[in-house]
Amino acid sequence: MFASANWLTRPEAPGSAVAGWRRLTSRTPGVAGAVTALVVLSMGALAPLLAPTDPSAVDGPSLAPPSRAFPMGTDALGRDVFSGVIYGARTSLIVAGGVGVIALLTGAAVGLLSGYRGAWVDDALMRITEMFQVLPRFFLALVVIAFFGPGLDRLVLVLGLTSWPLLARVVRAEVLTLRHREFVDAARVYGASSARIVLREILPNVLPSAIALLGLVVAQAILIEASLGFLGLSDPNMISWGAMASQAQQFLRVAWWLSLFPGLAILVTVLGLNLVGNAMTNASVGRR
Amino acid sequence: MTVGALLSIRELVVEFRTRDGAVRAVDGLDLDVDPGETVAVVGESGAGKTVAMLAALGLLPAPPECTVRGQVLFDGRDLLTMGRKQLRQFCGRHIGMVFQDPMTSLHPSLRVVDQVAEALLVHHKGMATTKARDRAVHLLAQAGIPRPDRRANDYPHQWSGGLRQRAMVAMAIANQPRLLIADEPTTALDVTIQAQILELLRSARDQIGAATIFITHDLAVVAQLADRVSVVFAGRVVEAGDVRDIFASPTHEHTVRLLAALPSPDRPTVRTRLDGAGPGVLRLDNLVTHYRRSRNSVVRAVDGVSLDLDAGETLGLVGESGCGKSTLAKTVLRLVDATSGTVFFGGQNITTADRRALRSLRPALSMVFQDPYASLNPRMTVEQIIAQPLRTFGRNRSGRVGELLEMVGLPARLAFRRPAALSGGERQRVAIARALALSPRLLVLDEPVSSLDASIRGHIIALLNRLQRELDLAYLFITHDLALASQICDRVAVMYLGKIVEIGSVADIYSRPTHPYTRALLSAIPVPDPARDRPDGRIVLSGEVPDPAAPPSGCRFRTRCWKATQICAVEEPALIQRSSGPGHLTACVHPEPSDRSDPPRAAAVQRA
């Protein structure tokens, strides 16, 4: 098909997962992001196997610089920073996963309903979306933690419930372009119900761009959790990169390793998720 | 090499780099164009004809994505060795181009006049802007835009496709180019507008004496416009020669195939139809569908249409874009609600059916859409697509999908592919299989072949004909293409601005048309025969279809009709029998006498 020059951008099989993966990894940033995400994921999942010691156990000299025994040094109480960074991935993953699921479900539901129903349903839902969109997320999270005490569960809930508006808007925009496509009309002709049309015909076409955006949304949630940890508002029972960086503050001049490694972990994870998100967005745009 | 050729392309090779290696889009193409001559480059989509032209003009992406080799001599200078900037200036000065889609080839946020003026200013550095604008208005007038001085502040979206294509022509001829390249300039336009644009290109060419390259997939269009034809297949010219020779005695099998695929209104295919038609399937009674465009503008898309359709019969619904034929189809299928009137399907009223009744009717009604690239869900496999209707009604689908694939002539191995891996023809077969899944009695076909290549059209039409015979289906066949309708329809209804202006058997409509609009449509069909007289007796309708929100009073066609008299503005002509043919109805107070021996261009129309 060489009818026009833009055939170049048209992949052979846009629907298949293999083609999607190929497109995602066809650029270096996408590969880097995907690898980072996988590393963080396995770090969190396999933390007990990977970490040399229990991150809260005192098993070394206080404030030891990075060495063979302690690759990232130890903190003031003699705890291994390397193990802390590995276990810290769990906290970030729980936040990322929880927020991701809540935001995707809410965002997709609102976006699909709004885009497909249109009229007053659309108006009402979009006004509500805007309301959520203008809420200052960080301060809301701060207030909730201040009122109900630190805890990962409420943090995930607050961040999840304030992260969906962007997804809802993107899904709605996609639905608006899809709902008058001929394959949707075709489904109406053979008598498919609205639910069937939305779930079987429209949703699979919307999902890629929603998931692409999700990477960015989730990265922000991780950043907020880390910020709260830095302010000393994280769950005391969980090891979090933000909290580690926070405790490192007072030793900034004597023990650089305490702040560097948790900080790097946050940076790399957020960057990785952003790269994946961007690469997926590009891939789903190229699909058209 | 021809001595004194204006453009001479030699051994042109274009390769694109893709993930799966290099793809050779143009493979050693040769082409010569003499000054003042018109050469048609004909081929199907993917043949490489457009890519070859873009490559010759340096409009393709730079290496490594794309490499161009060979020689392109324009007046003795090799375009391929010129620097980009030099090439741009040279081409802009000497070559004018008209693209396929007038909807996208104009800048949406600049005034049309300014865009034409821009073409002048780029190559005449010292020209004053006001002078360029004056000249642009003049050029637009030359391109047949009515009163361009009044449209000086218009933006492209305010113009119709036909007007925009005229503006493109004005831009192309602005600098008196020596070569005019028109790439499918009429493919996106209606037949009557196509006739206007072809006339315009012809006169523009004659005025400035430019050589013309006409890129098209449609041999019929070039038959009367071109001096020579080059047939392109798989990136190379497989046959080239004088247009008359090519039509009279094509030598390459691909040319033969292209010619055979041409429908001609002169030879309507006589369909063998059971006499004493089957039971009535569909009846429209004074159907009206209006929809609101803005607060105080109501589009009268369908405005009082009555029709009936029997089992095993094909009724063609023919008209230009905006005549309401697609809205009519959607109303029949209850994709939109009727404003008034009724649609009876097998005795049941569809227009008032409630959700439950409608659902029970759904399996019997089906539709095939125009664009098989849009009508199949890209994320489903062929098997899933065809099974969807069966799932919806909880029908057994184990063997049915395979059966349907076989019915439409697709190999079973395609079942697990996705639409993107199929060709246009295969996709349309999948769409037909899906439409047949629930064993319908009525199939609405909305331009089912207009987005397909000519050689594939024939196969799909044959398939539809076979399926109709086997399954005793009723077809409502919607098309803008009268020539095509003659191949598949038993009866044809011609629609204009929401009303049927003429309806009758294929023989009546094509051999004894009585409504002026029908005659104009027939006359606008390019006659694929260069030996026939250059069409001086052709009826080229002036103007465009009026706004369906504010149709003219009385007869809606009167604003474009050459026979219109005062009574036409007052009296709305009834659709009644005005000639001898049974069931041949016309809505015109000045019908063409059916026994008239020589209407203009009778030779063309009456040879049927």
pLDDT tens digits, B126-149: 888 888 888 888 888 888 787 788
Q: Of A286 and B539, which is predicted with more confidence?
A: B539
Residue in B335, B337, B377 to test binding to A, most A beta-carbons within 10 Å:
B377
Per-residue pLDDT tens over the stretch A99-145: 889 999 999 999 999 888 878 888 889 999 888 888 888 888 888 88
Query: Quick check: A16 contacting B, CB < 8 Å?
Result: yes
For helices B400-407 and B424-436, the axis angle rounded to 10 degrees is 130
- DSSP code of A74? B
Q: Hey, is the C-beta of A2 within 8 angstroms of any chain B C-beta?
A: yes
Residue B494: pLDDT band with limits 50, 70, 90 = very high
pLDDT beyond 60 at A184: yes
Q: Which B residues, 340 through 359, put their C-beta within 8 Å of a C-beta on chain A?
A: 358-359
Distance from CA of A122 to the nearest CA of B (A): 19
Q: Is A284 on the interface with B (CB under 8 A)?
A: no
Residues 6+ apart with CB under 8 A from A124: none
Question: What is the distance between the alpha carbons of residues A183 and B368, in angstroms, rounded to a whole number?
Answer: 10
Whether chain B has a CB inside 8 Å of the CB on A177: the answer is: no
Cβ-defined contact of B392 to A192 (cutoff 8 Å):
yes
CA dist., res. A145 & res. A231, Å (int):
11
**Distances from the Cα of A144 to the Cαs of A234, A241, A246, B11, B565, in angstroms?**
12, 20, 20, 73, 80
Residue B295 scores a pLDDT above 80: no
Touching check for B22 and chain A: CB below 8 Å? no
pLDDT higher than threshold 50 for residue B600? no
Interface of A with B in 203-232 (CB under 8 A): 204-205
Backbone angles phi, psi at A145, to 5 degrees: -65, -40
The enclosing H or E element of A213 equals helix A203-230
H helix intervals, B543-598: 566-570
Judge whether A228 and A246 are in contact, CB under 8 Å.
Answer: no
Q: Among positive and negative, which fits the CA dihedral B203, B204, B210, B214?
A: negative
SS3 content of chain B, % helix, strand, coil (to 5): 35, 25, 40
- Of the candidates B382, B400, B381, B380, the one whose C-alpha atom is nearest the C-alpha of residue B390 is B400
At residue B263 the predicted structure's pLDDT band, cuts being 50, 70 and 90, is: low
Buried b (16+ CB within 10 A) or exposed e, B575-587: beebbebeebbbb
Q: Is B393 on the interface with A (CB under 8 A)?
A: yes
Residue B608 predicted with pLDDT over 50? no
Given a cut of 80, whether residue A207 has pLDDT beyond it is yes
Q: Pick the residue from chain A with its C-alpha nearest to B233.
A: A2
Residues in chain B within 8 Å Cβ distance of A12: 420-421
Q: What is the pLDDT of residue B444?
A: 92
B365: chain A residues, CB-CB within 8 Å: 189
A6 touches chain B (CB under 8 A): no
Interacting residues of A58 by C-beta distance below 8 A, sequence separation 6+: A77, A78, A79
Helix (H, G, I), strand (E, B) or coil at B289: strand
How far A193 CA sits from the closest chain B CA (Å)?
8
How do residues B69-107 score in pLDDT, each as one tens digit? 888 888 888 888 888 788 888 888 888 888 877 777 888
pLDDT of A259 over the 50 cut: yes
Helices (H) and strands (E) in chain B, counts: 20, 22
For chain B, percent of residues with pLDDT exceeding 70? 93
CA B526 to chain A, closest CA, distance in angstroms equals 23
Contacts of A8 in chain B (CB under 8 A): 16, 18, 61, 65
Is A15 near chain B, with CB under 8 Å? yes
pLDDT at B176 over 70: yes
Residues of B within 8 A of A187 (CB-CB) are: 388
Residues of A with Cβ-Cβ distance to B48 under 8 angstroms: 2
User: What are the backbone angles phi and psi of residue B61, rounded to the nearest 5°?
Assistant: -60, 150
Asked if the C-beta of A119 comes within 8 angstroms of chain B's C-beta atoms, the answer is no
CB contact under 8 A, B420 and A13: yes
Q: At what angle do helices A81-117 and A203-230 cross, to 10 degrees?
A: 140
pLDDT at residue B532, as a whole number: 64
HEC string of B417-478 equals CCHHHCCHHHHHHHHHHHHHCCCCCEEEEECCCCCCCHHHHHHHHHHHHHHHHHHCCEEEEE
Whether pTM exceeds 0.80 = no
A8 touches chain B (CB under 8 A): yes
Assess A54–B contact: CB distance below 8 Å, yes or no.
no
CA angle B42, B46, B49 (to 5 degrees): 40
Please report which confidence band the pLDDT of residue B476 belongs to, taking 50, 70 and 90 as the band edges. Answer: very high
Residue B422 touches chain A, beta carbons under 8 Å: no
Q: Chain A neighbours among B 38-77 (CB < 8 Å)?
A: 45-48, 50-51, 54, 59-61, 65
Residue from the list A8, A12, A182 with its beta carbon closest to the beta carbon of B16: A8
pLDDT tens profile B549-579: 888 888 888 888 888 888 888 888 888 887 7
φ/ψ of residue A76, rounded to 5: -60, -30
Residue B429 scores a pLDDT above 60? yes
Structure tokens at B469: 């015979």
Contact B214, B223 (CB under 8 A): no
CB contact under 8 Å between B19 and A22, yes or no, is: yes
Residues 6+ apart with CB under 8 A from A177: none
